[in-house]
Amino acid sequence: MTIIASLLRNAQLPDSPTERLDAELLLAAALGKSRSYLHTWPERIVSSEAAQVFADFLSRRRAGEPVAYILGQQGFWKLDLEVAPHTLIPRPDTELLVETALELLPATPARMLDLGTGTGAIALALASERPAWQVMAVDRIDAAVALAERNRQRLQLNNVHVRTSHWYDALDGERFDLIISNPPYIRAEDPHLVAGDVRFEPSSALVAGQDGLDDLRVIIAQAPGHLLPGGWLLLEHGYDQAADVRELLSQQGFGDVCSRIDLGGHERISLGRLPC
């Protein structure tokens, strides 16, 4: 017979930077309970079935699989999102895009576009905060579109429309007040692609050519054709790409160009505005 406290004490995840948290999340999921249940009932006996599920989860985590993929879900903003291996796992740093978008535009009706939506994280977070906005979320990958649509339906966010498009390709003639994107931006040779959790994420969501700027260049160059006068473009990028992205924005005629700093102190997003 095993109890909750001893399962947690004996859970070894030496390679994880968040060992205890991972073990708690995985045990709570194996039991179908919340993390606070574990703290409230440390002496509770765990069935052998649940203990086996937990052991399987731990061995997957030891092999490097991210907790979010094992659980099939990840928190972002105030939402619980389904995640799957064909999309990026939403990062806390990306909440800076959401915060900034909420500051830029008033709560009155507006049209916004999320390019490369993946799980739908950015689009759904904005739609949940701004019921008056009409949010278009696009992704090139059909499985991502289906996933974002499932998240949209579960969260009942009827002001979001999800559809398949490679960047702007399926959006001829449509214009927005705000375009937002967390595109792939890692350099093809970046050593961080072969270590840790990102090994399990799709390279289509991470890698963008030799300098990591291939997709950002396309998104910025075509943005003026899809923004209304005075519209904003708001982009996440690599920690050392801010100056390049600001330069690309200025070259395309954007004004009010600036960058903002993420939780780790890096310039992580940049933005600009089309003249009115």
Which amino acids are annotated as binding site for substrate, given as ranges? 182-185
For ligand GLN, the closer of residues 186 and 223 by Cβ is: 186
For ligand GLN, the closer of residues 120 and 184 by Cβ is: 184
* Backbone phi, psi, residue 113, to 5°: -130, 130
Beta carbon of residue 40, minimum distance to ligand GLN (angstroms, whole number): 35
Beta carbon of residue 147, minimum distance to ligand GLN (angstroms, whole number): 16
List, as one string, the DSSP characters of 128-154: HH-TTSEEEEEES-HHHHHHHHHHHHH
For ligand GLN, the closer of residues 97 and 178 by Cβ is: 97
Phi/psi region, residue 209 (left: phi>0; alpha: psi -120 to 50; beta: rest), is left
Per DSSP, 186 falls in state: B
Beta carbon of residue 190, minimum distance to ligand GLN (angstroms, whole number): 9
Beta carbon of residue 129, minimum distance to ligand GLN (angstroms, whole number): 22
Instruction: Please measure the distance between the N-terminal and C-terminal CA atoms of the chain and give it in whole angstroms.
Output: 69
Beta carbon of residue 217, minimum distance to ligand GLN (angstroms, whole number): 15
Are 83 and 205 within 8 A, CB to CB? no
Query: For residue 171, what are its two tokens?
Result: 């959006």
For ligand GLN, the closer of residues 69 and 185 by Cβ is: 185
Binding residues: 116-120, 139, 167, 182-185
Contact footprint for ligand GLN (CB under 6 A): 88, 91, 182-186, 198, 206
For ligand GLN, the closer of residues 182 and 270 by Cβ is: 182
Q: Position 146: which residue type? A: A
Q: Which of 66-97 are b and which e, b meaning 16 or more Cβ less than 10 Å from the residue's Cβ? A: bbbbbbebbebbebebbbbebbbbbbebbbbb
